[in-house]
Structure 1
Amino acid sequence: MALRNAIMAALLEGAASGYDLAKNFDVSLGNFWMATPQQLYRELERMEADGLLSARVVQQERRPNKRLFSLTDEGRAALYAFTSAPPKPGAMREELLVQVQAVDVGDAAAVRAAIAERRARAEAKSALYERLRQRLLDGRTEDDFLATAERVGPYLSLLRGIAFERENISWAEHALAALERRAAREP
């Protein structure tokens, strides 16, 4: 998946500046697509040049002017084409798991600390995602929301993020317990 598809999906929420996209990327698409602000800005420029986005300048007092990006008809067509094609199989590239794989000959205490940090981040993200879920539902049941909301894609992808973070927490707890039991047996 190209970064441009993730940006176009994010812009379905409405016009946004590069700063707004970078700030909100972590809570909307960051669970399944990572990008630095520099990557976002470069891609926004390319997408505008390719006619997928249009930009308008918003004059601001006491701050630099900002550019708000919106999808063009060509951008919507490209996003439609992206959703029409079968997705490529996902692949996990996770540095922490390589460290866990090598824990038996590596610094087990450092690996345990990294797993504990991952668990803490997952707990924080899970709590954030749950708050976002409640905000989206706005007092409605999930069934009512899914039947009546104008857009359900952000909610469904948020549910996947919640499940992902819960699994990260569960795995981290299991891995930590196993490594701590092994450490207790060592002389």
Structure 2
Amino acid sequence: MALRNAVMAALLEGEASGYDLAKGFGASVANFWMATPQQIYRELERMAADGLVSARLVRQERRPDKRLFSLTDAGLAAVRAYVAEVPTKPTALRDELMVKVQCADVADVGAVREAITERVAWATAKLARFERMRERLLAGRGEDEFFATAERVGPYLTLQAGIAFARENLRWGEMALERLEQRAGAADPTG
């Protein structure tokens, strides 16, 4: 998947500046796609050149002018075409932590535990943020009411995938720390 598709998905929420998109990426598509602000700005320029987005200049007092981007008809057609494509393969997991864990038997287990502890902290913070986003999306409604009345359900469904991913990272990290601790206790004859 190209960054272009993720930017177009984010623009389905409505008109946004590059800054708003970069900031909003963390709140909308970050549960499945990461990008730096520079990558987003470059992609917006390419998309504008390709006619997928249009930009309008907004003058601001005491701030630099900003450009607000929105999808064009060609951009919406590109979204529809992208969605119609059959994914070629599932996402491959490339995780540096897993490589370190794989080496735990011949390396500094303390460093591995520290790395896992950091992952647990990351997952805990991410899960809390996603749960706050979930509450904002539901806006006091139950899920059934939300699905029956919401204008768009895609953001909620992808958020649920992000929540599941964060929960699984948390569950795995806690289990791995417990098992490494048990192993260290079993290896220590004075324990």
TM bracket (short chain): over 0.9
Give, in angstroms, the shift of residue 142 of structure 1: 0.2
Q: Secondary structure at the match of 2:54?
A: strand
Give, in angstroms, the shift of residue 85 of structure 1: 0.9
Q: Secondary structure at the match of 2:104?
A: coil
2:170 is equivalent to residue 145 of structure 1: no
Number of aligned residue pairs: give it: 187
Give, in angstroms, the shift of residue 48 of structure 1: 0.6
TM-score by length of 2: 0.94
Give, in angstroms, the shift of residue 123 of structure 1: 0.8
Alignment of 1:119-158 (within 5 A): 119-158=120-159
**Residue of structure 1 in register with 2:80 after alignment:** 80
- The list of structure 1 runs, each at least 4 consecutive aligned residues, that deviate by more than 6 angstroms after superposition, is none
Give, in angstroms, the shift of residue 79 of structure 1: 0.4
Identity %: 67
Paired residue type of 2:73? D
**Residue of structure 2 in register with 1:97 after alignment:** 98
Give, in angstroms, the shift of residue 27 of structure 1: 2.3
**Residue of structure 2 in register with 1:163 after alignment:** 164
Q: Deviation digits for residues 132-168 of structure 1, max 9, x if unmatched?
A: 1111111111011101110000011111111110001
Paired residue type of 2:67? R
- Unmatched 5+ stretches in structure 1: none
Q: Secondary structure at the match of 2:106?
A: coil
Give, in angstroms, the shift of residue 181 of structure 1: 1.5
- Unmatched 5+ stretches in structure 2: none
CA distance in 2, matches of 1:22, 1:52: 18
**Residue of structure 1 in register with 2:175 after alignment:** 174
Paired residue type of 2:112? V
Q: Secondary structure at the match of 2:27?
A: helix
Give, in angstroms, the shift of residue 107 of structure 1: 2.0
**Residue of structure 2 in register with 1:55 after alignment:** 55
CA distance in 2, matches of 1:55, 1:106: 53
Paired residue type of 1:87? P
Aligned partners of 2:117 and 2:177 also within 8 Å: yes
User: Which moves more between the two structures, 1-10 or 13-22?
Assistant: 13-22
Q: CA RMSD in A?
A: 1.1
